[in-house]
Every structure is written in C-alpha cells, then in structure tokens.
Amino acid sequence: MSLHEQEYKECESEIREKEQPETHEHKPELGARVQDHEDAQGIDNQTREHEHELESQTQEHVPDQTIEPQEHELEHAQLLQWAEALEAPFALNDYNGSVMGDIVFAYQSGSCPILISCPHTVNHRRGDWVKEMDEYTGALGLILKSLTDCHLMFTTKLYDEDPNFVEGGVYKSELVRLSKKHGIRFVIDLHGASSTREFDIDLGSRYGKTLREPAANIITEQLRKHGLSDVRSNDTFAATSPGTVTAHTARHLKIQAVQIEINGKYRSPRTDIESFFRIVKGLTQAIECIKEDVRQNERQKQRIIRSERCASAGHRRRNIHFRARW
C-alpha cells in the first residue's frame, strides 16, 4: 500500500469514528405541503440507511418520547404560521376581502376528482343584510388542497349574493361548469358553525340523499379518530334548501356532496392550535380515504358499462344471425 493510500485510510477511519447522523429540519414555504411528522422527516433514503448502519454499530437508541414533543410543538407552530398567512387575504377590509377587480371567486385545479368548496370565506349578502364570514374556512380549504391535491373553489370578496343561500347564482353556476370540465365526482362544502353549538361537526346531506352511507362513515370515522368525538349527521344544518351548494351540486351533477359545519372552537388556530390541527388531520385523512372510495366506484361503473356493452353487442349479433336465417 502506498503512503497516500495509507494516509487516506487513516483519515477515513477517523471521520467514521466521529461521524454522527445528520437531520434536516424542513420548514415548508407558504403554499407548499406541510409533511406529517409520522410520514416524512425531511431525510432522504440514503441518509436513513446511513443512520441505521450507525445505530447497529454503536447500539445507541434515542427514545421516541424525547423527540416527539419537540416535533409536535414545531409542527403546531408551522401550522399556525401557515394558517394565518393563508387567511390574511380573506381578512382584508374587515373580511370583505379584496376590493380590487370584479372577480368574486377563485378556482384551483387538482389531481383527484374531489372538490372542496368554501363559499363563506368572506362576508356575504343575504337579502338586505351582510352576514359574517365563516372564519378560517378559507385557510382550511387552502391547507387541505395543498395536502391532498384536490380541487378547490372559494369566494374572494363581498358581492351581491350568498352562494349557499340564493338559488342559482354565479358561484354555484361556475361550480357546476368547472366540475363538469374537471370530472369532479365528490364535493365537500366547508362551513363554520358557532362555537356555542353542542356538536363538533354536523354533516349535512339532505338526510342521506346527497351522501351515501360508506362515504358518511369514512368522514365520521376519520374525524372521531383525530379527537372530534361529537360528529353528527343532519342535526342542525341538513343542507335541505335548494340554494345550498350541496343540494345544487347533487341535483345538477348527480354526484355525492356533503355540507360540513365545523364548530368555531376548531377554527381558532390563534387561541387553540391543537383543535385546528385535529380538524386538519381528520379532514385530510377523510379525503384520502374518499379518494379510494371514488376510485372503486368508478371502476365498478366501468365494469358495468363494459358488461352492458358486451351484452348489447351479443344481442345485436344474435339478431343479425336470426335475420340472416330468415
């Protein structure tokens, strides 16, 4: 072995003895995905393999409980910062939104056939009076869109209608048009209820007419799993009025839709970030499960269509055969 090779080996040995695993703290930019600490730690596969090798050599193990509280606290701080930044445009002009331009809603496309609707992000007119917004439903919708890559539609300014009250209207008309264009198969309409309500969540589905039981069970189960124990269906807000987004969607698109009323205590990240964190996690997991439910329904539809086409083709062949004999 040459002198240079010997020096290189000795240097490499010293480095290995001193080397410690590298961790990478990941702070997402606004509008980017906040990664769950259970699923991603910002460490690539190569570094993970390297850490595993070092652990096996040194037989050292850091207990999970010494790390999790710090990560949990950091994740909460990031979520609060994210939520406040996303809510800021809606809060302009005392929650009248932007006064510039004539655009009253915005649409962001996604990669899955689920649409989140947020019609009360800003103050809205109901007849002759102005009704207050559902605070942080805009920020929540934007966060869910980022985490699940679903489609998103929301109001941007005060204008001359309440999208969830008036029959027809520009918001729901455009929602139907854009849903047809993008192949939407499921609509989640987000709303905010008063913090004085007894329920945590109320799922409005016109008493089951706009939402099938499997999807209702998915949403209920995932929300309860993340700490929202009092999840009700059609308790106070059943979305029975024809002017609601849910009723309008089901009638004109013939797809599933649900109005989700969220108690105010879960929409106050400044004062209770833990509860806000729970609603974000619960709805994110619910949407992911609904994605799979929608895929299965679509596959079933395709099988039925193919079966009907084959039956129809066979019927035509038999008719041709009998006509030829005669």
More confident residue, 56 or 325: 325
Strand order in the sheet with 186-193: 105-108, 151-155, 114-118, 186-193, 256-263, 201-204, 231-233
User: Mean pLDDT lowest for which of 54-68, 274-288, 290-304?
Assistant: 54-68
Give Cα 112 distance to the centre of its chain: 11
Give the other-Cβ count within 10 Å of 71's Cβ.
14
- pLDDT at residue number 24: 39
- pLDDT at residue number 316: 67
Q: What is the average pLDDT score of the chain?
A: 82
CATH of the structural domain 70-301, one choice from 3.40.50.1110, 3.40.50.2300, 3.40.630.40, 3.40.250.10: 3.40.630.40
Q: What is the pTM of this model?
A: 0.73
Residues with Cβ < 8 Å from 297, sequence gap 6 or more?
Answer: 185
pLDDT at 68 over 70: no
pLDDT at 25 over 60: no
* Domain residue spans of the chain: 70-301
Give the other-Cβ count within 10 Å of 52's Cβ.
11
Q: What's the token pair of residue 35? A: 């990664």
pLDDT per residue as tens digits for the range 172-218: 999 999 999 999 999 999 999 999 999 999 999 999 999 999 999 99
Helix (H/G/I), strand (E/B), else coil: 246: helix
pLDDT per residue as tens digits for the range 132-173: 999 999 999 999 999 999 999 999 999 999 999 999 999 999
Contacts made by residues 126-135, CB under 8 angstroms, sequence distance 24+: 126/162, 126/165, 130/158, 131/162, 132/95, 133/90, 133/95, 133/192, 134/190, 134/191, 134/192, 134/262, 134/267, 135/87, 135/95, 135/192, 135/264, 135/267, 135/268
- pLDDT at residue number 305: 72
Question: What would the mean pLDDT of 67-89 be, rounded to a whole number?
Answer: 82
Residue 50's pLDDT band (boundaries 50, 70, 90)?
Answer: very low
pLDDT at 121 over 70: yes
Residues with Cβ < 8 Å from 244, sequence gap 6 or more?
Answer: 164, 165, 189, 204, 259
Residue 315's pLDDT band (boundaries 50, 70, 90)?
Answer: low
CA atoms within 13 Å, Cβ hemisphere of 317: 6
Token pair 């807000």 is at which residue?
Answer: 237
Which residue type, as a one-letter code, is found at position 115? L
- pLDDT at residue number 99: 84
Cα–Cα dist 145/109, whole Å? 9
Cα–Cα dist 191/138, whole Å? 10
Residue 324's pLDDT band (boundaries 50, 70, 90)?
Answer: low
